[in-house]
Amino acid sequence: MELKELQNMNYDELVQLHQSGEIDTLQFVMANGEMAEMFENSCTFYNLNPTEEIARQWLDNHSNTLDSSLTDVLELTEGEF
């Protein structure tokens, strides 16, 4: 699939395509506007070429960071709801 076509899809559609193996991790990341921008900025900062392997590592790290941030927020707000 072309990147332009992927960029017109919503997040859930992209997740389905990625999980089914129809698109690779680099395509998944690059099709997600804000995520693509963060990934490109990271690649530029670390002087890396955006490859499938780099995208996989970045997404794993990004997901782990989001998970730990969410856990931190939940722990801080525990008992407030």
> Three-state SS across 33-53?
HHHHHHHHHHHHHCCCCCCHH
Domain locations in the chain as residue ranges: 3-77
In angstroms, the CA 9 to CA 6 distance is: 5
- pTM beyond 0.85: the answer is no
Tell me the pLDDT band of 64, cut-offs 50, 70 and 90. Answer: confident
Q: Could you give the 3-state DSSP secondary structure of residue 10?
A: coil
Chain length of the chain: 81
Please name the amino acid found at residue 19.
Q
The single-letter DSSP state of residue 76 is H
Residues 32-62: pLDDT tens digits? 999 999 999 999 999 999 999 999 999 998 8
Tell me the pLDDT band of 63, cut-offs 50, 70 and 90. Answer: confident
